[in-house]
Amino acid sequence: MDVMKKVPVREQDPKVRATNFEEVCLGYNDEEAKAEAERCLKCKNAQCRKGCPVSINIPEFIRSVQEGDNKKAYEIISEDSALPAICGRVCPQESQCEGKCVRGVKGEPISIGKLERYVADWARENGIVPEKPATTNGKKVAVIGSGPAGLTCAGELAKLGYEVTIFEALHEAGGVLVYGIPEFRLPKETVVKNEVENLKKLGVKIETNVIVSKSVTIDELFEEEGFEAVFIGSGAGLPKFMGIPGEQANGVFSANEYLTRNNLMKAFREGSDTPIARGQRVAVVGGGNVAMDAARTALRLGAKVYIVYRRSEEELPARAEEVHHAKEEGIIFELLTNPTEILVDENGWVKGMRCVRMELGEPDASGRRRPVEVPNSEFDLELDTVIMSLGTSPNPLISSTTKGLDVNKHRCIIAEEETGKTTKDGVYAGGDAVTGAATVILAMEAGKKGAKGIHEYLSNK
């Protein structure tokens, strides 16, 4: 075995997986996990831990894996993370823990994400569940939203003895973990449901079908329902469109709609009542993880799929692993390409998309080189479906109905970074609702900090 290289992880064959919704990555078995754990240098001054937003004691849990004590490994991870089976799958490890790994200086870093997933899956398969605190302190905290920020915040507070109720607007708990990230990256029935069930075992109550701001307001939660603090983790769910001609045509979807129909409503499954447009020729506009998810979903529903992105491969915001998987499965990348118009047939359906080629000019405000149009480079793609994946912004429903809760010009809730404290007394916030669309792990970090902020607030009250 080459100690400089990661133990390769088994994956479904690209040709096979392009036709199903089963998980792509199969994960490590016991031998593979131990072999990978062997590679860890167990650094005293562990850089990986500094790269982890929730500061998991990585060298220690890896040591336990190496020693074959998976239960202990799970306990170590659980001290800092409530959702390891999820993070092991969707964290951008390459820019966090693994990005700092000393092994990575000369060779490949330790496969920390795959080891975390291995431990979490082992714990689930072996029925290890977190223990409910013996007593509660009788203080009620409301958590709005059951995505990664809300789940983490609720878990932390429950462990501290608070009586936590999560209010979820949709009919199922999990937020972006259930409506956004597809089954083939994050299995819902096994992985996500289990993490949510674990929270319930900690004593957290989850009330679905409650839209805070419509069904009940934050002020009513305080005044009528006896909550002493509120954490807002309502995410960034509002889709963006380009504003180009033809965008209202039938067959143009936001990535949010396309993914929600498929992931939350299970449109891909025989027997689901929710329809989805099974296009033959689909273009996904955008280059982030959500764009990759939408493209790979359309592919699995039987389409020929293009990713249309205005910058070059280097600037693709998606994780390298996702781009790699998408290419393996046969997604066609039309890079340095920008749509200018959606072409519509006489019945109001998409028939194509006019695009223009781009080249990279001077760096813009984001530090990335600004794409500029190449003159006379227009061309048409023949399509029946266009999926816009241009990013999302926070939903203004809560901020617009809660007096004293300030937002910035991007409609993000203003909150202190270390505590999540907002401009309204007793109200804390974190995750995409505060930062705009980011990652699962950063939302978890914010959920954790929010819990700490609320604990300090209620302890001193």
Partner 1 sequence: MYQITKAEKLADKIFLMDVKAERVAKSCQPGQFIIVKMDEKGERIPLTICDYNREEGLVTIVFQIVGASTERMSKLQAGDSFQDFVGPLGVASEFVEEDVEELKGKKILFVAGGVGAAPVYPQVKWMHEHGIDVDVIVGSKTKDMLILENEMREVAGNLYITTDDGSYERKGMVTEVIKDLIENQGKKYDFCVAIGPMIMMKFVCLLTKQYDLHTIVSMNPIMVDGTGMCGACRVTVGDEVKFACVDGPEFDGHLVNFDEAMKRQQMYKTQEGRAMLKLTEGDTHKNGGCGCGGDK
With CB under 8 A as the contact rule, the residue among 254, 337, 338, 385 that binds partner 1 is 254
With CB under 8 A as the contact rule, the residue among 152, 165, 395, 399 that binds partner 1 is 395
* Contacting partner 1 within 141-170 (CB under 8 A): 169-170
* Contacting partner 1 within 44-73 (CB under 8 A): none
Size of the site for partner 1 (CB under 8 A): 39
* Contacting partner 1 within 332-351 (CB under 8 A): 347-348
Residue nearer to partner 1 on the CB measure, 101 or 433? 433
Give the binding range for partner 1 (CB under 8 A) out of 187-195, 245-253, 368-376, 431-439.
245-253
Residue nearer to partner 1 on the CB measure, 96 or 263? 263
CB atoms near residue 411 (< 10 Å): 16
Concatenate the DSSP letters of all residues of 16-54 into one string: HHTT--S-SEEE--HHHHHHHHHT----SS-HHHHH-TT
Instruction: Name the minimum Å distance from CB 148 to partner 1.
Output: 16
- Per the CB < 8 A criterion, the answer to whether 71 and 123 are in contact is yes
- Per the CB < 8 A criterion, the answer to whether 138 and 163 are in contact is yes
Instruction: Name the minimum Å distance from CB 272 to partner 1.
Output: 5
* Contacting partner 1 within 263-292 (CB under 8 A): 265-266, 270-275, 277
Instruction: Name the minimum Å distance from CB 217 to partner 1.
Output: 8
β-sheet bridge partners, residue 333: 307
Tell me phi and psi for residue 387, to 5 degrees: -115, 120
Residues 385, 249: Cα–Cα separation, whole Å:
10
Instruction: Name the minimum Å distance from CB 6 to partner 1.
Output: 37
Is residue 390 involved in binding partner 1 (CB under 8 A)? no
Concatenate the DSSP letters of all residues of 68-121 into one string: T-HHHHHHHHHHH-S-HHHHHHHS-GGGTHHHH-THHHHSPPP-HHHHHHHHHH
Reported for 240-247, long-range contacts at CB under 8 A and 24+ positions apart, including other chains, are: 240/388, 240/390, 240/391, 240/392, 240/393, 241/388, 241/390, 242/285, 242/339, 242/388, 242/390, 244/339, 244/340, 244/341, 244/342, 245/341, 245/342, 246/341, 246/342, 246/343, 246/344, 246/350, 247/342, 247/388
Give the binding range for partner 1 (CB under 8 A) out of 37-45, 143-151, 211-219, 326-334.
211-219
Residue nearer to partner 1 on the CB measure, 254 or 439? 254
With CB under 8 A as the contact rule, the residue among 9, 35, 360, 397 that binds partner 1 is 397
Q: Is 232 helix (H, G, I), strand (E, B) or coil?
A: strand
Is residue 256 involved in binding partner 1 (CB under 8 A)? yes
Residue nearer to partner 1 on the CB measure, 294 or 358? 294
Is residue 237 involved in binding partner 1 (CB under 8 A)? yes
**Residue listed under structure tokens 């609320």:** 454
Residue nearer to partner 1 on the CB measure, 56 or 407? 407
Is residue 189 involved in binding partner 1 (CB under 8 A)? no
* Contacting partner 1 within 87-146 (CB under 8 A): none
> Among candidates 351, 362, 359, which has minimal Cα distance to 375?
359
Is residue 215 involved in binding partner 1 (CB under 8 A)? yes
For partner 1, the binding residues (CB under 8 A) are 169-171, 179, 208-211, 214-216, 237-239, 241, 243, 247-248, 250-251, 253-254, 256-257, 260-261, 265-266, 270-275, 277, 347-348, 395, 397
